[in-house]
Amino acid sequence: MHCVRGPQAAVDTDLLVVPWFEEDAPGAIPGLDQASGGEITRALASKEFAAKPYDFFITPFADRSWRPRRLALIGAGRFAEYDSAVVRKIAAASGLAARERHIDRVAFVLRGRADVAGHAQAAAEGLTLSEFNVGIYKTDEPAPGAPPAWTIVMAEDSPDALPRVSQAVARGRVLGECSNLARELANEPGNALTPREFARRATEMTAEGGVKVEILDETRIAELGMGLLMGVARGSSEPPRLMVFRHDPPGAPASPVLGLVGKGVTFDTGGISIKAAVGMERMKDDMAGGAAVAAAMRAISLLGAPVRVVGVVPATENMPGGRAIKPGDILKSAAGKTVEVIDTDAEGRLILGDGLWYARELGATHLVDVATLTGACVVALGKTTSGLFGTPPDWVDQVRRVADRAGDRVWPMPIFDDYREQLKSEIADLTNTGGRPGGSITAEIFLKEFAGGLPWAHLDIAGTAWAEEAKPFLPKGPSGVAVRTLAELAFTSQQWNSKGES
Ligand code: BES
Ligand code: MN
Ligand code: ZN
């Protein structure tokens, strides 16, 4: 993937993709309509192409003095709403459309003069995201061919310098690739991606990027007193793993230390509180938060974030079995708190409780955890928006701003102390469920008990980790949500002033 400065007529490519606004006149881009032999005028007049988001219109160049072989217009909506989030999506949609047509070389044109580098990065992310293949186990269809060679074209008269924009493209490429690596992991079925295999693949992925990795086995996990993680793992014949990633850039200050924690349940049957059969296959992606943390660690290291980061991913299956935990069982967390297990299907918060504790042990000063945690969050916010929780508000706002920029839609949810009483246990410090009311909130209230008063934010990606319906910019399957947010967050430490609760 590379970046060139216009003119568009000189770009050596098979398909020149031009974002087109609803208010654009046929002559909006000098020379383009003539070069297409008037096809733009015709398609707009006949309404064959209306420039609504993701509308796609292809025509050959009639003018042979233009080097691109064909022109594609991609609907970009209204100019006033055009920002890097739109660029990312229309670039992804263009990439998917080009791949469907088996086009070898695609050039994507940047429009507008504002935030050129931001748009270039987003375009690189979108095009890269379009490379993901979901059907990797299909044997009866030819494997999808190599993705097109991508070029990003900046305007000839752009106010920005080519090296700066090229650098943004390279950054977007890394973030897109890391998102796709997380998607590959989430796509793997539970029989292929056991906790041990997850740890092996995450090690490969992060070590290659320069991250220091340590994998703790069941003996070490038990020695550390992680009774919550050990408890969830008891029902399975597959042993649990705890992945620890470290990014220690030379010369980085001792503090702050960003602590990223991801839920790594490689399959969630619910355990003894077993789930209904319908749709249970989806629970192979219950490690999407852990995959996001591993992939973000790779991006953080490759892009050289100027801050220390630790990543912690507890990985286990949640299975019923003769040795599985039962409702009513009491588990002791590494932090010392005791938990009465009311529902063995509320396992994510259990393993994250020990994970958050370990991130603090490793020196984290600011925490973010990511998890496919609650069905209630899907009910509250649907399939496109992740729930954002945490404290104090300035840390949560920081995560929110970064997520907006990274194209991961999030929305803040309340965590008032009032909800705490729903987790009261007669016999232990707290229960692991708080009933149906506010089901996503009580899960976070549980996690907050393990954040030790540090600035802490939680992303509930239960609705967003997996696309159940194909969109023009995102096929069915794993979305790679949160990878870019976590990675970009590591570049904003100048803005972290919160110290948590006293
Ligand atoms: N992994 C699930 C949450 C989930 C649900 C993710 C739907 C993606 C789609 C989690 O472990 C779970 O089972 N949560 C329970 C909690 C309940 C028992 C308190 C839930 O949401 O039903
Ligand atoms: Mn569960
Ligand atoms: Zn789960």
Where exactly does CATH 3.40.630.10 map onto the chain? 193-321+345-421+431-495
CA terminus-to-terminus distance, the chain: 48
User: Residue 183, Cα to own-chain centre: how many angstroms?
Assistant: 8
pLDDT of residue 498: 63
Q: What is the mean pLDDT of residues 179-191?
A: 98
- Among residues 355, 325, 331, the alpha carbon closest in space to that of 428 is found at 331
Q: What is the mean pLDDT of residues 170-182?
A: 98
425-473 tens-digit pLDDT: 999 999 999 999 999 999 999 999 999 999 999 999 999 999 999 999 9
| Index of the ligand 1 atom closest to the CA of residue 348 | 11
Token pair listed for 402: 């970064």
398-428 tens-digit pLDDT: 999 999 999 999 999 998 999 999 999 999 9
296-339 tens-digit pLDDT: 999 999 999 999 999 999 999 999 999 999 999 999 999 999 99
Q: What is the mean pLDDT of residues 341-365?
A: 98
2-177 placed in CATH 3.30.1360.20: no
List the residue whose alpha carbon is closest to atom 3 of ligand 1: 374
Where exactly does CATH 3.40.220.10 map onto the chain? 2-177
Q: What is the mean pLDDT of residues 144-155?
A: 94
- Whether omega before 414 lies within 30 degrees of 0, making that bond cis, reads no
Q: What is the mean pLDDT of residues 264-293?
A: 98
As for ligand 1, residues whose beta carbon falls within 6 Å of it are 268, 286, 343, 345-348, 372-376, 378, 433, 439, 462
CA distance linking residue 64 with residue 35, whole number of Å: 8
Q: What is the mean pLDDT of residues 200-225?
A: 97
Residues in contact with 234: Cβ distance below 8 Å, sequence separation at least 6, in sequence order: 321, 323, 324, 325
- Among residues 471, 449, 458, 368, the alpha carbon closest in space to that of 410 is found at 458
Quick check: 501 pLDDT over 90?
no
Q: How far is the centre of ligand 1, averaged over its atoms, from the C-alpha of 480 (Å)?
A: 19
6-46 tens-digit pLDDT: 899 999 999 999 999 999 999 999 999 999 999 999 999 99
Indicate the CATH number of 193-321+345-421+431-495 among 3.40.630.10, 3.40.50.150, 3.30.1510.10, 3.60.15.10.
Answer: 3.40.630.10
Q: How far is the centre of ligand 3, averaged over its atoms, from the C-alpha of 476 (Å)?
A: 20
Residues 114, 169, 156: CA angle, nearest 5 degrees:
50
Q: What is the mean pLDDT of the chain?
A: 97
- Whether omega before 478 lies within 30 degrees of 0, making that bond cis, reads no
Confidence bin at 350 (pLDDT 50/70/90): very high
Quick check: 502 pLDDT over 70?
no
Q: In the chain, what percentage of residues exceed pLDDT 90?
A: 97
Residues in contact with 125: Cβ distance below 8 Å, sequence separation at least 6, in sequence order: 88, 91, 172, 173, 175, 176, 179, 407, 484
Confidence bin at 145 (pLDDT 50/70/90): confident
pTM, full prediction: 0.98
> Which residues surround the ion ligand 3 when the cut-off is CB under 5 Å?
265, 268, 286, 348
461-499 tens-digit pLDDT: 999 999 999 999 999 999 999 999 999 999 999 999 766
